[in-house]
Structure 1
Amino acid sequence: MSLHGPSTAPSGTTPRAWRPWAGLAVLALPTLLLSLDITVLHLAVPHLSADLDPTASQTLWIIDIYGFLLASLLIAMGAVGDRWGRRRLLLVGALAFGAASTAAAFAQTPEALIAARATMGIAGAAIMPSTLSLIASLFPDARQRGTAIGIWAAMFSVGIALGPVLGGVMLEHFWWGSVFLLGVPVMVLLLLAGPRLLPEPATDARVQVRPSSVLLLMGALLAATYALKDAASHGAGAPALLGVVAALVLGTAFVVQQRSASSPLLDLSLFGERRVRATLVSLLVSVGAVGGIYLFVTQFLQLVAGLDPLPAGLSLVPATAVLIATSVLAPSLAARIGAGRVLAGALAISAAGFVALAATSAGSSHWWVVAGFAVVYAGVGPVMALGTDLVVASAPPARAGGAAALSETGSELGISLGVAMLGSLGTAVFAARAGADVDGGLDSLSAVAAQAGRSAEASGAVGVAQAAFVDGMTTASWVAAALLVLAAGVTWRAFSAVRDRA
């Protein structure tokens, strides 16, 4: 039995058999790039930190602003594509992403890099929902569409796998900004091939994108992210409390507005399906945990284990190979034992990997971290592979587009919040353990390493800073493991309840 809705005949003439698959290859390019951009940036952090000297907060925003804007604008951009044209929006987004990537590559200040990353996030939000909705137009047959969505999702894993390797090669021979230039030829190819191979589905002039809805959603997410950052860095004080209150007020206003709107930006009735809620929780927590810990792992390999960029990138290949393998195996396993069991089991496996990372010490072999991270990825693969398909299949066909946007938003928002929460928590632990012993009150390991090369006094603080950094990483790992166990329980109960009613 197919997980997808019934097939519908495409409008117009039927394309040649090869054209939809060629179109899928074109749509896979930006998916690969957007995931590659995440991992390649983490590997470059120590190098851009040494060059631009950002504060710990600026470093987190350099990483986080991209995912935050992408997540908060996905739903709005999906509606823009329905009204204005999905292929047109995809090509405009590709052009903007290429230009912003070039600006990021040559940024001279932390502020300029943050601005370029923000533009990349906006452009990415235009690209992502367009790719998935165009796949639905290319493949009206449900079975082919399922295969195409699986390939589309797998490209995210391929991008993660290529990111550390390509980033390591670039950082070994060029400056840190070169990693951003990897996206430029990809976007040029998309701009050249897209008009020839991709359809332009009919638009719907009835779709409305109210600026107030977009601003309310963005404001709620920004306030929540700020509250997490401030609470982790300075404790649960007045600024963090103010951020929580603002997030609740703006989020409530958004929900009220969507319930009363004749053409809502987000169809809230989708949350009425229990499996949709559980799958979104799985995506949010699992991808968020990986996004939050990735920065620690890449910095550990370079700044604690002492690996050069290329060996550090190659060390992550086993983990990403496991991610791809489990992503490919997950659909067939779900068909045999049930998607809910696969999701819950995968989340538990990831939790075990984080427990292994939590047992790391400053003297641990880097292979211990590589092995623990591979176990984390073994669990994340099935969640990524099944997540989008399950959310889309759980919604009525007429609302499949909104469900797909929700799954993408859950993944991207998870990365953003994971970096904010786990990254800020690790930074807070580092500052508490090393702040009094590190000259100048340096609050990031990359900053200590940069100073060590300029000052004999600062070099003596590296050992203290490394131990404090590992303390921050292990604390974040324990928190991630606990969240994954909770998510596994929620997912198991949700899918069990559906089976009991069947």
Structure 2
Amino acid sequence: MKGAALESNIRAGIKEWIGLAVLSLPAILISVDLSVMILALPHISIALGADSTEQLWIMDIYGFMLSGFLITMGTLGDRLGRRKLLMIGAAAFGSASVLAACANTSGTLIAARALLGIAGATVSPSSLALISNMFRDHKQRSLAIGIWFMCSMGGMALGPIVGGTMLEHFSWSSIFLLGVPVMALLLLTASHLLPDYRDPAPGRLDMASVVLSMCTILPVIYGLKEIAKQGLEPLPLIAIVAGVAFGTLFVRRQRRLDSPLIDLRLFANPTFSTALGGLFGITLTGASMLFIAQHLQFVEGLSPLRAAMCMLPGVVASMTGMLLSPLIARLIRPSLLIGAGLAFSATGCIILSQVTAGSGLSTLIVGYILFNAGVAPFASLSSDLIVGSAPPAKAGSAASLLQTSGEFAFALGIAVLGSIGTYVYRTQIVGFIPRDVSMLTHGATLESLAGAVSSAKALPEPIASTILHGAQVAFTNGMHAVVAISGVLMIAIAVLTVTRFRHLPPIGQKKPGEM
């Protein structure tokens, strides 16, 4: 009877669930801001007269700042108070959104996007850490984190759709104004719905560690992104080497400090380290999404908005899986659910490897649905394991590690898997390029599928058809290589997690021997 009373005391009520809804809206918004620029950038570049370099910075600066500040802001929330930092970040995000919407030069927009990234880094880890404070019951916390993660991942996919819809009816500035009412709602309700929490013994914030963390993250992210775009050029490689060197200094400093920016003792927990490492590996395979998007546009000939709509069933499958996984994991062991899910993803990779230049949409859509749905249990449950296995005082730090790892993994996946797909494309397209085409056409065709499609429009038949068909076949084979590697990764991570998580009981049940 006493145990039942204790259980009811820690269970969250209606106030906490409404608070979760308030926290989930910014999660969607921050993710939307990462991907909404895909369709908006051409409109912005025309309106502001942005050159190619400025376009790259408009596109990338948000992600750079977001990833660079996550660790600092996550730890700062543990020290200053998570609700307080969340409200500061919400106010900053709303103000930067207005600045971005009113920008009349490329420089102003770049600065506004940088501020949005810093503010987003303030909001994200504080939101996830607060969920661990609001939902102390394991079953409820697992479901709450699954809902939050579903919203965060769904925002990435909704970005192009939201952008396309807004641009069809309003000017480009409207996409930034979406953030204002969402952050206003958060500011109005946070003090009533959300608890505050801070580390009771936080220690001094080590500014040297803050600088070293940024000097580690920013050069590596920059280098990986540049390699994905330009190949193995000297400057990106130097940036990565510099980031690794600073990272070594950062880790050494954390080991010496009494109050480190990142508590490396978290990695001694095998559940934490396995969940974080496995999620890193899963996120690597996100590069497959970019190849699928390009296949829909340049092989199937769809508009960006129609391509996004074709990918929507896979996104819905992923979001549904993230929502249901914590509920299913109450009935069966998480290791079995994760292993079965990743087997589905590997099956999706096999189906995607059967897509050809003339196979139509059904095979690709079915494969993408399985690919996304199968990853959902791991994404949802591992997030709970990462945040839940950390001490309450370190939940913000754990949440920031989770999100920073995701940023690294996605950038690394694009750089590595993207380079492999590009290598296959360039190796195979050579045989389809006629010898008598100009050097300009040859170079554009060899560079990318988009370049080949653009070049073919200016060429006479049958040369245009030969180049276009060859480019589509070569690109599709490159995509096959990427999804094959992704499938192997899925199987390897499945074996790892099933082995390392086999001791975990269904959510809400006690381990053998526990009272």
Normalized against structure 1, the TM-score is what?
A: 0.81
Letter in 2 for 1:215: V
Does the Cα contact within 8 Å between 1:85 and 1:200 map onto a contact in 2?
yes
SS at match of 1:335: coil
Alignment partner, residue 119 of structure 2: 123
Q: Relative to 1, partners in 2 of residues 1:151 and 1:361: Cα closer, same or farther, differing over 3 Å?
A: same
Letter in 1 for 2:413: G
Alignment partner, residue 409 of structure 1: 404
Counterparts of 2:259 and 2:400, CA distance in 1: 16
CA-CA distance at 1:121 after TM superposition: 2.4
Q: Deviations over 1:448-480 (max 9, x none)?
A: 666777x56799465555445434433332332
CA-CA distance at 1:260 after TM superposition: 0.5
Q: 1:87 aligns with which of 83, 90, 112?
A: 83
Counterparts of 1:129 and 1:103, CA distance in 2: 24
Does the Cα contact within 8 Å between 1:8 and 1:140 map onto a contact in 2?
no
Counterparts of 2:343 and 2:137, CA distance in 1: 34
Alignment partner, residue 318 of structure 1: 313
Q: Deviations over 1:226-254 (max 9, x none)?
A: 55456666766765664554343222211
Corresponding position: 1:480 with 2:482: no
Does the Cα contact within 8 Å between 2:77 and 2:396 map onto a contact in 1?
no
Unaligned runs of 5+ in 1: 1-5
Counterparts of 1:8 and 1:43, CA distance in 2: 48
Does the Cα contact within 8 Å between 1:288 and 1:415 map onto a contact in 2?
yes
Letter in 2 for 1:298: A
Alignment partner, residue 375 of structure 2: 380
SS at match of 1:93: helix
Cα RMSD (Å) of the superposition? 4.1
Letter in 1 for 2:366: A
Alignment partner, residue 348 of structure 2: 353
Q: Relative to 1, partners in 2 of residues 1:73 and 1:433: Cα closer, same or farther, differing over 3 Å?
A: farther
SS at match of 1:363: coil
Does the Cα contact within 8 Å between 2:58 and 2:113 map onto a contact in 1?
yes
Unaligned runs of 5+ in 2: 1-5, 506-510
Alignment partner, residue 31 of structure 2: 35
How is 1:386-425 mapped onto 2 (pairs within 5 angstroms)? 386-425=381-420
Q: Deviations over 1:152-180 (max 9, x none)?
A: 22322443564454334234445666544
Counterparts of 2:8 and 2:292, CA distance in 1: 46
Does the Cα contact within 8 Å between 1:229 and 1:421 map onto a contact in 2?
no
Letter in 2 for 1:494: R
How is 1:95-494 mapped onto 2 (pairs within 5 angstroms)? 95-101=91-97, 116-141=112-137, 143-160=139-156, 162-174=158-170, 178-201=174-197, 206-226=202-222, 228-229=224-225, 242-243=238-239, 245-290=241-286, 292-427=287-422, 429-430=424-425, 439=441, 441-442=443-444, 443-446=447-450, 460=464, 465-494=471-500
The number of equivalent residue pairs is 490
CA-CA distance at 1:195 after TM superposition: 4.2
CA-CA distance at 1:81 after TM superposition: 1.9
Does the Cα contact within 8 Å between 2:143 and 2:323 map onto a contact in 1?
no
CA-CA distance at 1:68 after TM superposition: 4.3
Q: Deviations over 1:396-431 (max 9, x none)?
A: 445444333332333333333333433454455555
CA-CA distance at 1:320 after TM superposition: 1.7
Does the Cα contact within 8 Å between 2:78 and 2:396 map onto a contact in 1?
no
Q: Relative to 1, partners in 2 of residues 1:332 and 1:188: Cα closer, same or farther, differing over 3 Å?
A: closer
Counterparts of 2:46 and 2:265, CA distance in 1: 48
Q: Relative to 1, partners in 2 of residues 1:169 and 1:386: Cα closer, same or farther, differing over 3 Å?
A: same
Q: Deviations over 1:367-404 (max 9, x none)?
A: 32222211111112112211221123333445444333
Letter in 2 for 1:35: S
SS at match of 2:329: helix
CA-CA distance at 1:316 after TM superposition: 2.1
Q: Choose 436-445 or 383-392, whichever is displaced more.
A: 436-445
Does the Cα contact within 8 Å between 1:233 and 1:427 map onto a contact in 2?
no
CA-CA distance at 1:257 after TM superposition: 0.5
Q: Relative to 1, partners in 2 of residues 1:59 and 1:300: Cα closer, same or farther, differing over 3 Å?
A: farther
Q: Deviations over 1:28-83 (max 9, x none)?
A: 1101212333444445577778987876x988776655444323422210222233
Percent same amino acid at aligned positions?
A: 41
Counterparts of 2:194 and 2:352, CA distance in 1: 44
SS at match of 2:485: helix
Q: 1:21 aligns with which of 17, 21, 44?
A: 17
CA-CA distance at 1:271 after TM superposition: 0.8
Counterparts of 2:42 and 2:359, CA distance in 1: 20
Counterparts of 1:494 and 1:270, CA distance in 2: 16
SS at match of 1:489: helix
Normalized against structure 2, the TM-score is what?
A: 0.79
Counterparts of 2:50 and 2:448, CA distance in 1: 11
